[in-house]
Amino acid sequence: MISKEDIKNRMIQAVETVKRTNPMAGSITNSVTINFVANAQLAVGGSAAMVYLPDEGEFLAEAGGATYINVGTLLPIYEQTLPCTVKALYDAGKPWVLDPVAIGIGLLRTQLLRQFKEYKPNVIRGNASEIIALAGLWGLEGGTAQSNVRGVDSTDSVTDAEIAAVALAKWTGGAVAVSGKTDLITDGSIAAFSYGGSYFMEKITGSGCSLGGVVAVYATSASPFIAALTATAAYNLAASRAESKADGPGSFQIAFIDELYKATAADIANNPFEIKEV
Amino acid sequence: MISKEDIKNRMIQAVETVKRTNPMAGSITNSVTINFVANAQLAVGGSAAMVYLPDEGEFLAEAGGATYINVGTLLPIYEQTLPCTVKALYDAGKPWVLDPVAIGIGLLRTQLLRQFKEYKPNVIRGNASEIIALAGLWGLEGGTAQSNVRGVDSTDSVTDAEIAAVALAKWTGGAVAVSGKTDLITDGSIAAFSYGGSYFMEKITGSGCSLGGVVAVYATSASPFIAALTATAAYNLAASRAESKADGPGSFQIAFIDELYKATAADIANNPFEIKEV
Amino acid sequence: MISKEDIKNRMIQAVETVKRTNPMAGSITNSVTINFVANAQLAVGGSAAMVYLPDEGEFLAEAGGATYINVGTLLPIYEQTLPCTVKALYDAGKPWVLDPVAIGIGLLRTQLLRQFKEYKPNVIRGNASEIIALAGLWGLEGGTAQSNVRGVDSTDSVTDAEIAAVALAKWTGGAVAVSGKTDLITDGSIAAFSYGGSYFMEKITGSGCSLGGVVAVYATSASPFIAALTATAAYNLAASRAESKADGPGSFQIAFIDELYKATAADIANNPFEIKEV
């Protein structure tokens, strides 16, 4: 098994490469939190670009170092845009991050998420209920036939989703990040548990979406597992620092972006985490 | 007439139920202020979920405790989404809040708002010009044939809209909230005037929209009148507290979300208001 | 050549007229930064209204004092909405501001931006690469056949775009603003260089878009050149003041809106700039 020291060195490298090269990660993402996604991507040193149309999705797939796909607020055109974008990503061997927000709501969402199975997202990020439901939709171990997602919220705990997360990571050959009180990141052979964060993260919309966008930024410069762990560690660190300065969820979100921007590579790598074989 | 003490007790109950049960209120709302709507709903203790597609609107209508419909930025698909969502709400007896933003602009907006008459929104929230124009569109007392809305702004005062508000509330059997310097909330038999707020509320976009979203959160746990009055009181209190900390509209909006989050049930119920029979 | 003193007096007049009359400037703009655009327009004293549908675009073209068109995140309906809106603006002689965001990405974007040539936007605002690419698309001097835009970022410097900016301004008979470290504003006969700003402006999404929206607000009350210079000066001033208060890009954006709101007409006119004949 890879050592913690090795992992930390790779995290440091990912953070520094991003800060130095300002890599572009395009997104097709929901309109509720699209601004927060972009600002979080910029805060860690990336460049953001968002589109809706099929040929624009294909363009960004080619032009970006990685792409973030979030199905939160589907528009009719997504029936065309999303399949051709993820196909372009897959064919070009470009990393992409899937956020299966609100899986279970509506026919198009189910149809699209089912299609994505063959295009193997390099990182899947979601809450526990979303991860379990996606494994179920894809017929993998640890999944359930019915989604327990309530709107955009989880009703399961992170540990409930471990088997599903491992199965998804094995299927894609990438990594899966399950967000919750303690976050789980796995590549199908090892699992990391990342600590920190803040109770305010559930009191602002888009903490999960913007994390997915930041995973895509790091995925331009690191393996799926390192990208997912680095982004999660950066989030846990920034959230915990921001909480100590916040007077409520409004000032928390502002301080969070500030802390995300200020966090150094060493800060992020030293944010507490544990690893185990799975 | 119900006493002020009774009203205050019901407001306290609404606030505490929401904080305890974290009820979900779905929204179909405009893209300008969608993030603020969600964050305000979360700040008072609710859960937010936004969609665009017809079957997703129906899904949220069923799954949520109440739904917020804001016609600010219509998309072509709304021609299908909004009628079937409000029908699902009406058929299921689920409360819904209508925000007739910018009534008078465009054919689809007029067509949709006209259709909504038969589905009787449980709460209608708008500025004075919007309330007067909606009463006019529905052929009710106090309405005018022409909308005086300027873009998204009112050119009428709250008292100008009282007859229209009462007529709308009598028609729906629900409540109407007219936002302005002093806010008017009526169920068609009594009217409450809620005091407080801040001049900064007009200097940030979405103070009205996000209020509508918070009304929907309280409507999961209270009558239309109590939900509208409670949300309005919470807004007036939080805005007045935030103004004293703000250096401009940017810091005001952040402090406003903080204060909305921190306001206790007693704080909200004790925010000054008066009642009269209408 | 007009004197600096004359220019400053006209800038003072523009700022004061807007603060006094609260003019409405409608927008069709991207969903990433739509909220920031509206809040910036409100901060300087304007009123904002955003739409997507063709007849609503035409309505706002008529009703507003000026209109802001930003092609950042195109939707399918824009194929109809944008041509008929800019035609309505042109036919009515109403000023409009074009932001050719991400020019070069996708067929519809290219098709629309090509069509806009004949409707002569009164102000064109963009980064250097966007201005060069638009001049190229319109077959004007200083343009290149290929866009150097990277996602939404420039890869050229402001001085690289001077010839293209002058050519565009001569074609439209209006003004062009090129955003960068030192901003260039030209009406085709004189060029102004506006100083100030902050390195944080590139660390938040929408600093360019919201500047375009504010140009539209000033264009309701001033010539294209004065509107573009006034908005740019207000931005440079507010950004430089905000930087001194900021702990990172989150707090910077909040302080920026506050400073934009607080800037007086004299503050804005006195923000350093130089002029030369071109």
Q: Are A233 and A11 in contact (CB under 8 A)?
A: yes
| Stated length of chain C | 278
Q: Helices (DSSP H) in A93-247: which residue ranges?
A: 107-115, 128-137, 162-172, 207-219, 224-243
Residue B95 has pLDDT above 90, yes or no: yes
Query: Is B80 an interface residue toward A (CB < 8 Å)?
Result: no
- Secondary structure class of C47 (helix, strand, coil): strand
Mean pLDDT, residues B203-214 taken together: 98
Query: Is B102 an interface residue toward C (CB < 8 Å)?
Result: yes
Q: Determine the straight-line distance between the first and last CA of chain C, rounded to whole angstroms.
A: 10
Per-residue pLDDT tens over the stretch B139-190: 999 998 888 888 888 889 999 999 999 999 999 999 999 999 999 999 999 9
What pLDDT score was predicted for residue A7? 98
What pLDDT score was predicted for residue B149? 84
Task: Identify the chains in contact with C, defined as 3+ C-beta pairs within 8 A.
Answer: A, B
By Cβ distance, the residue of C35, C75, C102 closest to A52 is C75
CB contact under 8 A, B261 and A248: yes
Share of chain B above pLDDT 90, in %: 95
Residue A202 has pLDDT above 90, yes or no: yes
Q: How many domains does chain B have?
A: 1
CATH number, domain of C55, equals 3.40.1190.20
User: At B174, phi and psi to the nearest 5?
Assistant: -115, -135
Expressed as residue numbers, the domain containing B44 is: 4-178+187-277
CB contact under 8 A, B204 and C42: yes
CB contact under 8 A, C255 and B254: no
Determine whether the annotation assigns residue A244 to a binding site. no
Query: From the CA of B260, how many Å to the nearest CA of chain A?
Result: 9
What pLDDT score was predicted for residue C65? 98
> Given the structure tokens 């544990």, which residue do they identify?
A274
Distance between CA atoms of residues C101 and A3, nearest Å = 45
What pLDDT score was predicted for residue C9? 98
Residues of C in contact with B204 (CB under 8 A): 39, 42
List residues bridging with A26 in a β-sheet: A49, A67
Distance between CA atoms of residues C31 and C25, nearest Å = 17
Query: From the CA of B42, how many Å to the nearest CA of chain C?
Result: 19
Q: Helices (DSSP H) in B93-127: which residue ranges?
A: 107-115
CB contact under 8 A, A35 and C30: no
pTM, two decimal places: 0.98
Of the residues C30, C32, C258, the best mutation for testing chain B's interface (the one with the most B CB atoms within 10 Å of its CB) is: C258
Per-residue pLDDT tens over the stretch B37-60: 999 999 999 999 999 999 999 999
Q: Are A40 and A68 in contact (CB under 8 A)?
A: no
Strands C24-28 and B273-277: unpaired
Distance between CA atoms of residues C136 and C163, nearest Å = 11
Q: Are C126 and C134 in contact (CB under 8 A)?
A: yes
CB contact under 8 A, A152 and B60: no
What's the mean per-residue pLDDT of chain B? 97
Q: Among residues 204-223 of chain B, which lie with CB inside 8 Å of chain C?
A: 204-206
By Cβ distance, the residue of A52, A255, A262 closest to C74 is A52
Mean pLDDT, residues B219-246 taken together: 98
CB contact under 8 A, C53 and B108: yes
CA distances to A252, B3, B8, B233, B237 from B275, rounded to whole Å, are 37, 9, 12, 13, 18
* CA–CA–CA angle B253, B255, B261 (5° rounding): 105
Query: Is A20 an interface residue toward C (CB < 8 Å)?
Result: no
Q: Are A225 and B232 in contact (CB under 8 A)?
A: no
> Given the structure tokens 């009304």, which residue do they identify?
B215
Query: From the CA of A215, how many Å to the nearest CA of chain B?
Result: 21
What pLDDT score was predicted for residue A166? 98
Query: Nearest residue on chain B to A246, judged by CA atoms?
Result: B258
What pLDDT score was predicted for residue C155? 87
By Cβ distance, the residue of A32, A76, A250 closest to B257 is A250
Mean pLDDT, residues A117-127 taken together: 98
Residues of C in contact with B151 (CB under 8 A): 24, 26, 47-49, 60, 63-64
Residue B198 has pLDDT above 90, yes or no: yes
Task: Specify the amino acid at residue B168.
Answer: L
Distance between CA atoms of residues B115 and A113, nearest Å = 34
DSSP C110-166: HHHHHHGGGG--SEEEEEHHHHHHHHHHTT-TT--SS---BTTB--S-GGGGHHHHH
What pLDDT score was predicted for residue A149? 84
Distance between CA atoms of residues B75 and A78, nearest Å = 14
Determine whether the annotation assigns residue B50 to a binding site. yes
What pLDDT score was predicted for residue B1? 83
DSSP A201-241: GGGSTTHHHHHHHHHHHHHTSS-HHHHHHHHHHHHHHHHHH
Count the alpha carbons within 13 Å of A15 in the hemisphere toward its beta carbon: 26
Interior/surface letters A166-204, b for 16+ CB within 10 angstroms, e for the rest: bbbbbbbebbbbbbbebbbbbbbebbbbbbbbbebbbbb
Per-residue pLDDT tens over the stretch A81-99: 999 999 999 999 999 999 9
Q: Are B34 and A32 in contact (CB under 8 A)?
A: yes
Task: Specify the amino acid at residue C152.
Answer: V
Q: Are B225 and B14 in contact (CB under 8 A)?
A: no
> Given the structure tokens 């969608």, which residue do they identify?
B34
Query: Is C32 an interface residue toward B (CB < 8 Å)?
Result: no
Query: Is B21 an interface residue toward C (CB < 8 Å)?
Result: no
Query: Nearest residue on chain C to B37, judged by CA atoms?
Result: C35
Distance between CA atoms of residues C45 and C31, nearest Å = 22
* CA–CA–CA angle C258, C259, C264 (5° rounding): 125
Q: Are C230 and C15 in contact (CB under 8 A)?
A: yes
The neighbour count for residue B277, using CB atoms within 10 Å, is 7
User: At B125, phi and psi to the nearest 5?
Assistant: -125, 130
Residues of A in contact with C202 (CB under 8 A): 42
CB contact under 8 A, A102 and B262: no
Mean pLDDT, residues A105-109 taken together: 97
Residues of C in contact with A253 (CB under 8 A): 250
CB contact under 8 A, B251 and C254: yes
CB contact under 8 A, B39 and A251: no
Q: Are C89 and C65 in contact (CB under 8 A)?
A: no
Residue A43 makes CB contacts below 8 A (sequence gap 6+) with A257, A260, A261, C203, C248, C249, C250
> Given the structure tokens 């989050």, which residue do they identify?
B261
- Two structure tokens written together for C25: 């400037």
Mean pLDDT, residues A138-153 taken together: 88
By Cβ distance, the residue of C76, C107, C203 closest to A261 is C203
Intervals of chain C under pLDDT 70: none
Confidence of residue A11 (pLDDT cuts 50, 70, 90): very high
> Given the structure tokens 């999960």, which residue do they identify?
A208
What pLDDT score was predicted for residue C86? 98
Query: From the CA of C216, how many Å to the nearest CA of chain A?
Result: 22
Q: A168: closest CA among A196, A202, A134, A197? A: A134
Distance between CA atoms of residues A161 and A183, nearest Å = 11
Residue A183 has pLDDT above 90, yes or no: yes
- Two structure tokens written together for C209: 């878009």
What pLDDT score was predicted for residue A193? 98
Query: Is C200 an interface residue toward B (CB < 8 Å)?
Result: no
Query: Is A36 an interface residue toward B (CB < 8 Å)?
Result: yes
Residue A205 has pLDDT above 90, yes or no: yes
Mean pLDDT, residues B220-248 taken together: 98
Q: Among residues 159-188 of chain A, which lie with CB inside 8 Å of chain C?
A: none
What's the mean per-residue pLDDT of chain A? 97
Query: From the CA of B40, how many Å to the nearest CA of chain A?
Result: 9
What ipTM goes with this model?
A: 0.97
By Cβ distance, the residue of B51, B55, B258 closest to A107 is B55
What pLDDT score was predicted for residue C148? 83
Residues of A in contact with B248 (CB under 8 A): none
CB contact under 8 A, C56 and B206: no
Query: Is C63 an interface residue toward B (CB < 8 Å)?
Result: yes
Distance between CA atoms of residues A226 and A186, nearest Å = 10
By Cβ distance, the residue of A47, A50, A55 closest to C32 is A50
Within a domain: C57:
yes
